[in-house]
Structure 1
Amino acid sequence: MSEYQLPQGWTLSAIQNITSADGLVSDGDWVESKDQDPNGSIRLIQLADIGDGDFRNKSNRFMSEDKASLLNCTFLEEGDVLVARMPDPLGRACLFPGVGQPAVTVVDVCLIRVGSRSALTNHLLKYWINSPSFRGLISENASGTTRKRITRKKLEKFEVPVPPLAEQKVIADKLDTLLAQVENTKARLERIPQILKRFRQSVLAAAVSGRLTEELKPWESKKLDECFECIDGDRGPNYPKKHEYLDSGYCLFLSTKNVRPFGFDFTDQVFISKEKDEILRKGRLTRGDLVITTRGTLGHVASFDESVPFGVVRINSGMLILRKKQPDYSNDYFKILIASPLFRKFINDQSTGSAQPQLPAKILKGFILPIPSPEEQTEIVRRVDQLFAHADRIEQQVNNALARVNSLTQSILAKAFRGELTEQWRKDNPELISGENSAEALLERIKAERAAAEKPKRRKNKA
């Protein structure tokens, strides 16, 4: 922690030395599953409750008073600093706000109670532990391979900057104000993707209702199977078994996870041999086909066009091939139609099954499609692409702004850690950071008070 010059009146101290006589630094309690009781009155605070600066209150575990007494548990107090000794992120800290009932915490959480006359307030200690410098120190000293952890013994020996008490309040107040502004900005930015999602759905709804192109020709209504030949995969005795799948080969064998809204995802691929492909009767794609998922995640649609880098492709039994009956129909228009709220409502209303939803081909074939002329289909696609591109640009700008906001929190904490937030305050208040008001004098008083509070050792009686 000495890689930079400490401000006037500040000093460094190990965490174990900043607590007052009535404070403590301790591991949480070793509470096993057998010790827990869902009807118990003692709340068990776990890693899931410890946020990066905030208490999340997510867990739902309890134990009885008798068990807590038997295990000699340390009960939490409001304002205790809780530090997660395991990721993610490792070393995140928050203040315990109280949960309306007695509570203890688990062994993977370090409990720091600074006490009533500590050298560092709990509020500022929380901020220090979450700062980039301290987080880096934790990372450097973590142990473990599959899942990193930091020990309480290491944590309590780490040094933190200790400003004069008067300055600590100024720093904490500034951090509260600045970080609240950051969180408010972040919250507003995080709402924008949901707004954009609703905007895209509105665009799709307008596209398939004719509102995007109201000045053009009247539309027709046709059943899906009037527009497409519907072809399912081969489900007979020759259907490929898992042990016949290949990592590479002659024929790509599509599964539902390869089909996403508006396109394919070839992250995970399986293939079948040429011999296997040749004995299958149905399910081979030809260029220009649409593929729609009919099992699991329903209604994802992709176009098998020239951009797909595989020549021989078959579908599995969870999909359906839609092959156009009229060549000048636009695949892109039908992708818009199938992704629209109109089609999504049809899917939700007509799907069967709960554990694994399905959309039977017989039902799908009867869906009524709004069909504009081929020319209007092309115009609809152009306008949707234009509006979606605009939304995509906004979303990218929002993501960039969010990245800057997320880094801003760490930047503010780093400035506070170095004393940069209160540089002018120190110039204006020299008497509050020197002499008896300095951090060194404060630590000396804490040291003396702790020594005075220690009980003298009993002298053994001589026989």
Structure 2
Amino acid sequence: MSGGKLPEGWVNTTIGDISVKCSQRVPDENEQFIYVDIGSINRELKVIENPQYLIGKDAPSRARKEIKAHDIIVSLTRPNLNAVALVSEKYDEQIASTGFEVIRPTLVESRYIFALVRSRHFIDSISGLVQGALYPAAKSSDVQSYEFPLPPPAEQKIITEKLDTLLAQVDSTKARLEQIPQILKHFRQATLTMAIKGDLTKNWRVENNIINAWTNQKASDLCIKVQSGSTPTGNPFEQNGKIPFLKVYNIVNQKIDFDYKPQFITDEVHRSKSKRSIAFPDDILMNIVGPPLGKIAILTDQYPEWNLNQAITLFRVDKEKLSSKFLYYVLCEGKLVRDVMHDTKGIVGQINISLTQCREAIIPCPSRLEQHEIVRRVEQLFAYADTIEKQVNNALTRVNSLTQSILAKAFRGELTAQWRAENPDLISGENSAAALLEKIKAERAASGGKKASRKKA
């Protein structure tokens, strides 16, 4: 980590200079232990989660690295994913995969190093991005040789305390923001339910002296066509075909997405073998093979004519009775699917709605005037929800970058600038980072080159 003048009392050093090499061993055959592998790391929370409880004879060959409380483990596999964790007391003297580099700081605050290995510069450095490449795996030496700014011992503690507070606030804000899309999903569903029950326009009917004349009618009575598609025999698809052929995967988020795996059939097939399922803009489509069921779309004018496979049914409304958009929202609400679920058939793992069920499905039907008002209100409320969702996504993007911004400030000394000014005696002389490095060197020399035990700052 480089760039800029170091704060007073700080020095540049490497991870290898402030940590001791950790030992490896083969577990005894009957030894019971907790095994931490790469998959045990929650990359979002940076904690050990769901490790394996093993006995030695069942241990994989990679179960070799001893870990202790306050160690920092860094995954060397796909380091760009930043699978790192601070070892808690629960996993003291357990065993981790050789796919980790284990950092055991000496006289240095473990939480400071844990924050360091979460920084963007560290991630990019051991991933090779600093050199302009992306490595599938890092080496132990990549971690050990990583250079970073080391503050005095007292300042390390202040920095980690500030980081704990600030990053907890970021996590709390992020958690609240991440709940909003689900709230908006419920809001949209509630809007549709109110719409098809007439509750959304209850006051509108009173204000306009309109009698509640809703009726329940079969889809076949409100549509001039309710028809499922089919897949023509042989090889009907042509790259240069003119007619777009829809499959269920082309219905995404209740809209047509024909950019994904588009397929075309010839005009000849369209008007012969697949004549019954010719579809036009404004037709409503619903998948009848699931799970999941309830995928709905209204055809756009991207193409003048479409066709569809057997897993989709089209509804073409009688415009004197029914608005296409109103029927679209009725189907999106999901009552039709819920009503027929107990009678659906299909092979194991598959649910089918029959064409007969589609034709006999009961559709709530107000006047054309009220249908228009319902569509207007639903679209207005959905637009409001979409605006909020966009703002939330933008806020989440900013919050997600906030963690790295805070970490960068910490390692530039910006979080503790005032503290240093108020405590000059705690960052100079024997309390400086340079003096700390000398103590670490002296301890190593006194150990005669043997592994040193960890001592907390």
How is 1:277-426 mapped onto 2 (pairs within 5 angstroms)?
277-280=270-273, 281-296=275-290, 297-304=292-299, 307-346=300-339, 348-353=341-346, 354-426=348-420
Which one of the candidate residues 423, 433, 456 is aligned to 1:429? 423
Which one of the candidate residues 114, 124, 127 is aligned to 1:136? 124
Q: Write the letter of the residue equivalent to 1:24.
A: K
Which one of the candidate residues 218, 221, 227 is aligned to 1:226? 221
Q: Write the letter of the residue equivalent to 2:201.
A: T
Contact 1:143 1:149 in 2 (8 A): no
Measure, in 2, the Cα distance between the counterparts of 1:186 and 1:396. Answer: 15
Measure, in 1, the Cα distance between the counterparts of 2:449 and 2:170. Answer: 47
Which one of the candidate residues 238, 246, 257 is aligned to 1:246? 238
Where do 5+ consecutive residues of structure 1 fail to align?
457-463
Residues 1:145 and 1:11: Cα distance change in structure 2 (over 3 Å): closer
Contact 2:195 2:378 in 1 (8 A): yes
Give the aligned partner of residue 13 of structure 1.
13
Give the aligned partner of residue 273 of structure 1.
266
Residues 1:405 and 1:69: Cα distance change in structure 2 (over 3 Å): closer
Segment of structure 1 superposing worse, 77-86 or 424-433: 77-86
Contact 1:204 1:341 in 2 (8 A): no
Segment of structure 1 superposing worse, 208-217 or 136-145: 136-145
Measure, in 2, the Cα distance between the counterparts of 1:49 and 1:302. Answer: 41
Deviation at 1:4, TM superposition (A): 1.2
Which one of the candidate residues 132, 136, 161 is aligned to 1:173? 161
Contact 1:53 1:95 in 2 (8 A): no
Contact 1:230 1:322 in 2 (8 A): yes
Q: Write the letter of the residue equivalent to 2:124.
A: G
Contact 2:69 2:92 in 1 (8 A): no
Contact 1:18 1:120 in 2 (8 A): yes
Q: Write the letter of the residue equivalent to 1:232.
A: S
Q: Secondary structure at the match of 2:278?
A: coil
Measure, in 2, the Cα distance between the counterparts of 1:50 and 1:368. Answer: 50
Measure, in 1, the Cα distance between the counterparts of 2:166 and 2:196. Answer: 46
Residues 1:218 and 1:100: Cα distance change in structure 2 (over 3 Å): farther
Give the aligned partner of residue 250 of structure 2.
258
Residue 111 (1) aligns with residue 108 (2): no
Deviation at 1:413, TM superposition (A): 0.4
Measure, in 1, the Cα distance between the counterparts of 2:213 and 2:61. Answer: 80
Segment of structure 1 superposing worse, 417-426 or 347-356: 347-356
Measure, in 1, the Cα distance between the counterparts of 2:92 and 2:107. Answer: 29
Q: What is the aligned residue count?
A: 438
Q: Write the letter of the residue equivalent to 2:114.
A: K
Measure, in 2, the Cα distance between the counterparts of 1:359 and 1:40. Answer: 56
Residue 24 (1) aligns with residue 17 (2): no
TM-score by length of 2: 0.87
Contact 1:142 1:149 in 2 (8 A): no
RMSD over aligned Cα atoms: 3.0
Contact 1:10 1:440 in 2 (8 A): yes
Measure, in 2, the Cα distance between the counterparts of 1:427 and 1:183. Answer: 30
Deviation at 1:133, TM superposition (A): 2.7
Give the aligned partner of residue 56 of structure 2.
65
Residues 1:194 and 1:440: Cα distance change in structure 2 (over 3 Å): same
C-alpha offsets along residues 359-388 of structure 1, whole Å, 9 cap, x if unaligned? Answer: 122223222211111111010000001111
Measure, in 1, the Cα distance between the counterparts of 2:49 and 2:38. Answer: 9
C-alpha offsets along residues 412-452 of structure 1, whole Å, 9 cap, x if unaligned? Answer: 10000000101111111111111111111111111111122
Residues 1:60 and 1:248: Cα distance change in structure 2 (over 3 Å): farther
Residue 85 (1) aligns with residue 76 (2): yes
Residues 1:337 and 1:44: Cα distance change in structure 2 (over 3 Å): same
Contact 2:79 2:136 in 1 (8 A): no
Q: What is the percentage of aligned positions where both structures have the same residue?
A: 35
Measure, in 1, the Cα distance between the counterparts of 2:131 and 2:259. Answer: 33
Q: Secondary structure at the match of 1:246?
A: coil
Q: Secondary structure at the match of 1:218?
A: coil
Deviation at 1:455, TM superposition (A): 5.8
Residues 1:124 and 1:240: Cα distance change in structure 2 (over 3 Å): farther
Residues 1:144 and 1:356: Cα distance change in structure 2 (over 3 Å): farther
Residue 44 (1) aligns with residue 41 (2): no
Measure, in 2, the Cα distance between the counterparts of 1:53 and 1:340. Answer: 34
Measure, in 2, the Cα distance between the counterparts of 1:207 and 1:95. Answer: 51
Residues 1:69 and 1:412: Cα distance change in structure 2 (over 3 Å): closer
C-alpha offsets along residues 321-373 of structure 1, whole Å, 9 cap, x if unaligned? Answer: 21223445211111111111533532544443452222122223222211111
Q: Secondary structure at the match of 2:8?
A: coil
Contact 2:218 2:359 in 1 (8 A): yes
Q: Write the letter of the residue equivalent to 1:18.
A: I
Measure, in 2, the Cα distance between the counterparts of 1:48 and 1:59. Answer: 9
Measure, in 2, the Cα distance between the counterparts of 1:90 and 1:392. Answer: 31
Deviation at 1:316, TM superposition (A): 0.3
Q: Write the letter of the residue equivalent to 1:249.
A: G
Measure, in 2, the Cα distance between the counterparts of 1:146 and 1:360. Answer: 51
C-alpha offsets along residues 173-220 of structure 1, whole Å, 9 cap, x if unaligned? Answer: 000001001111111111111111111111001000000111243200
Measure, in 2, the Cα distance between the counterparts of 1:9 and 1:147. Answer: 35
Measure, in 1, the Cα distance between the counterparts of 2:409 and 2:85. Answer: 20
Residues 1:267 and 1:211: Cα distance change in structure 2 (over 3 Å): same
Residue 182 (1) aligns with residue 170 (2): yes
Give the aligned partner of residue 455 of structure 2.
none
Contact 1:240 1:276 in 2 (8 A): no
Give the aligned partner of residue 126 of structure 1.
114
Q: Write the letter of the residue equivalent to 2:229.
A: G
Q: Write the letter of the residue equivalent to 1:75.
A: E
Q: Secondary structure at the match of 2:128?
A: helix
Give the aligned partner of residue 158 of structure 1.
146
